[in-house]
A and B are shown apart, each in its own frame.
Chain A
Amino acid sequence: MIFSFDLIYSQVANGLIMGLIYALMAIGVTTIFSIMKMVNFAHGEFYMIGGYITYYASTQFAISPFAALVLAFVCVFGIGALVERTLLRPAYTGAIERPGEYAIIITFALSITLVNGALAVFGPFSKGPPQFELPGITFSLPAVPQDRFVSCLTAIVIVVAVLIFINKTLIGKALQATAQDRESAMAAGIDTNRMSQVVFGLGTGLAAAAGSILGPVFMVYPDMGFSVAMKAFVIVILGGLGSIRGSIVGAILLGLIEGLCMAFISPAYRDVYAFIVLIAVLALRPRGLFGEKVRAV
């Protein structure tokens, strides 16, 4: 172990930057859970689809990466809404016994289908989309690569936009109502099935945005989504399932923990630290930081 301040700083700084981008994924997972009461195990694959859409849009059609990001969001929003309508709707309309198990298996199977489908269609080789660049911003924090810094800023802008949407618009308030008490929301005249569809589209769209942002940084390849999704799940459980605030705080925390562990223990085991955090949270404080108290996890 080499205790050099530079090493520690650079790992922690990069960890935080990554954490903020993972927050995009985590917010998607947590909002989907708060309204649909299910964990979307295919979340990483929507991230991957976002990456591929951005890659092809910005290379074949030469549009700006930011425009490609918007395109990816819109497309995956549509795909997500479709998936929700066909595969997930039965899970909470009472047509299926043991809906929890159903949701896990079907989203996991969807994940496998999409990854292997992408492998078959796009091939196993990584693609490198063009980086996000803002004309005015040529600086960055020390030891943080320029492209990651701009990606992080973009992610922050999107997160703020989502927060405004949820808190200030009518649909956002309808979503909150559905999350708090589905039946009362129905009684108040909200179409809760439509809300589920919207939130699933929104969540997966956010994942696609994250894929769009990180595509240039980590390259685009079929199973790019798996480890990122695992980080998102850990963040969501750490912050508390259903809490957006928890996702943001959890993301920053995980980024910090990962950076520190990578600096002090070993960079190779990067993904394992997230699992250790996961197990620790599930064993010691299952509801996470901001989650509701649960009798049985």
Chain B
Amino acid sequence: MSYLPTGSYMLHLTIMLFYYVIMASTYNLLFGYGGQLTFAHVALAGSSGYLSGLISLQLQVSPWLSMPIAALIIAAISYAMALVCLRMRGPYLALATLGFAESMRLIVAIEYKYTGGMMGLSVPYLLRTDSRIPYYFIALALVMLALYVVHKVVKSRLGLFIRAIREDEDVAPIIGIDNRSVKVKTFTISGFFAGLSGAFIGHYLHVLSPDNLQINLMVMVIAMVVVGGLGSFVGPILGAIVVYLSSEYLRATLGAYHFMIFGLVVIVLMRYARGGLVQLLGRFRVRISSALHERR
């Protein structure tokens, strides 16, 4: 990667963008490929930030150690959640995971003795430098890792099974797919990356708040996947770029209205263009090539 944005704000944007690319791509594994509409992804990442922060703070451990530990704990929580939610579909799954997410946020907000509650929590820095450049490279490495894993899963037999479950959950066992094992693996893998990236971003941002776990952010991640294109590999990456950058721009110009715009965008896209940008770009390309090939 020879491109190196060195302006401090640009670096910050890029690091946050990498975080959202990881979140959107791994959520796409659950929802886009697997058809499991869950609401716990962002809450898991936020909780991981708190876990890693508290472990490194209270147990005097280096963040380099507490990050993977937090990620593994979050993976275990995702595993447990998958087991509880195994037989749930559609609105039941959505409600149950919404319940998990909100419970996590409430616990973080209420237990202020440990978490600082609404006043926030200060967590140790990952590195003792003022520069953002090392964080950029770490974030880059994490993104590469996450995308590599997602790519491998999608191309593997597991990926095939995940998509089969999305297509028809009842028929999949008939052709020999172990629904339970596939779902559990999907939840755990995506949960692990939510945990890893959440812990990293926590130590990067240095201050945590229960607002990191709010549902508005989860909707933003869903918007990224929907805008980019459900169930495509490139989709969430495109979606994350478009949604995150416009979110920053909108927040600066429109202030209070910016989440509302996302809601509207998701509504319009779901209603008229469910394949997201990938589908729209594909249609555009087909039209151009058919226009070019027409013989008069």
Which residues of A are interface residues toward B (Cβ below 8 A)? 38-39, 41, 87, 90, 96, 98, 100-106, 108-114, 116-117, 119-120, 226, 230, 233-234, 237, 268-269, 271-272, 274-276, 278-279, 282-283, 286, 296-297
Q: Confirm or deny: B89 has a beta carbon within 8 angstroms of a beta carbon on chain A.
A: yes
Choose one: B91, B106, B267; the contact of A100 (CB below 8 Å).
Answer: B91
Is there an interface contact between A38 and B91, defined as CB atoms closer than 8 Å?
yes
Question: Interface stretch among B47-55, B135-143, B145-153, B257-265?
Answer: B257-265
A105 touches B99 (CB 8 A): no
Contact B169 A87 (CB under 8 A): no
> How far apart are the CA atoms of A119 and B94 in the complex, in Å?
25
CB-CB under 8 A from A297, the residues of chain B are 87-89, 92
30 contacts between A and B (CB under 8 A): A87-B271, A98-B35, A101-B35, A102-B274, A104-B90, A104-B94, A105-B37, A106-B266, A109-B219, A109-B263, A112-B215, A112-B260, A113-B263, A113-B267, A116-B216, A119-B256, A226-B215, A230-B102, A233-B95, A234-B99, A269-B110, A272-B103, A272-B106, A272-B107, A274-B99, A278-B96, A278-B99, A279-B100, A282-B85, A283-B84
B99: which of A87, A114, A230 is its contact (CB, 8 Å)? A230
Minimum C-beta distance from A269 to chain B (A): 7
Given contacts A271-B102, A286-B88, A296-B87, contact A112 B95 (CB under 8 A): no
Q: How far is the CA of A37 from the CA of B222 in the complex (A)?
A: 23
B226 interface contact, C-beta 8 A: yes
In the complex, what distance in Å separates the CA atom of A120 from the CA atom of B100? Answer: 28
In this complex, how many residues of chain B approach chain A with their Cβ under 8 Å: the count is 42
Q: How many A-B residue pairs have CB under 8 A?
A: 120
Roughly how many angstroms separate A117 CA and B263 CA in the complex, as a whole number? 10
> Which residue of A is nearest B257, CB measured?
A120
Q: Residues of A contacting B85 with CB < 8 Å?
A: 282
Contacts of B270 in A (CB 8 A): 102, 105-106, 109
Interface majority SS (helix, strand, loop, mixed), chain A: helix
Residues of the B chain whose Cβ atoms lie less than 8 Å from the Cβ of A117: 257, 260
Closest to A95 in B: B271
B98 within 8 A of A: yes
* Residue pair B102, A275 in contact (C-beta under 8 Å): yes
- If the complex has contacts A105-B37, A105-B266, A275-B99, are A112 and B87 also in contact, measured as CB distance less than 8 A? no
B172 to chain A, nearest CB (A): 12
List B contacts of A38 (CB < 8 A). Answer: 91
Interface residues of B in 47-91 (CB under 8 A from A): 84-85, 87-91
Q: Tell me, rounded to whole Å, the shortest Cβ–Cβ distance linking A76 to chain B.
A: 18
Provide the bound-state CA to CA distance between A234 and B270, in Å: 27
A286 & B260 in contact (Cβ 8 Å cutoff): no
Give the top 7 A-B pairs by smallest Cβ distance, nearest first: A113-B263, A275-B99, A39-B91, A116-B260, A109-B266, A112-B263, A120-B256
In the complex, whether B170 has a CB less than 8 A from a CB of chain A is yes
Contacts of A108 in B (CB 8 A): 94, 219, 222
* Cβ contact within 8 Å between A106 and B267: yes
Taking a contact as CB atoms under 8 Å apart, the answer to whether A113 and B260 are in contact is yes
Q: A109-B263, A296-B89 are in contact. Are A101 and B99 (CB under 8 A)?
A: no
Q: Which residues of B contact A272 (CB under 8 A)?
A: 103, 106-107
Nearest B residue (CB) for A33: B91
Q: Which residues of B contact A101 (CB under 8 A)?
A: 35, 37, 90
* Docked CA distance A112–B247 (Å): 15
A154 to B219, CA, bound (A): 36
* Besides A109-B223, A113-B264, A114-B263, 17 new A-B residue pairs in contact (Cβ under 8 A), listed by A number: A101-B35, A105-B226, A109-B263, A109-B267, A112-B216, A112-B266, A113-B267, A119-B256, A120-B257, A234-B99, A237-B95, A268-B110, A271-B106, A275-B99, A276-B103, A286-B92, A296-B87
Interface pair A296/B169, CB less than 8 Å apart: yes
Residue among B35, B169, B215 with max Cβ neighbours from chain A (10 Å): B215
**Complex alpha-carbon distance, A254 and B250, angstroms:** 41
Tell me the complex Cα distance, A109–B264, Å: 7
Instruction: Tell me the complex Cα distance, A297–B226, Å.
Output: 25
Q: Which of B94, B98, B110, B263 contacts A116 (CB 8 A)?
A: B263
Complex Cα distance, B89 from A38, in Å, reads 12
B-side contacts of A106, CB under 8 Å: 266-267, 270-271
Residues of B within 8 A of A269 (CB): 106, 110
A235 smallest CB distance to B (angstroms)? 12
Q: How far is the CB of A237 from chain B (nearest CB, A)?
A: 7
Nearest CB of chain B from residue A202's CB, rounded to whole Å: 20
Answer whether A279 and B84 are a contact pair too, CB < 8 Å, given A110-B263, A110-B267: yes
Query: How far apart are the CA atoms of A158 and B96 in the complex, in Å?
Result: 30
For A109, list chain B residues within 8 Å (CB). 219, 223, 262-264, 266-267, 270
> In whole angstroms, what is the CA distance A237 to B87 when docked?
15
- In the complex, residue of chain A having the shortest beta-carbon distance to the beta carbon of B223: A109
Instruction: Give the docked Cα–Cα distance between A38 and B37 (Å).
Output: 14
B97 → A minimal CB distance (Å):
10
- Which residues of the other chain, A, contact B92 by a CB distance below 8 angstroms? 237, 282, 286, 297
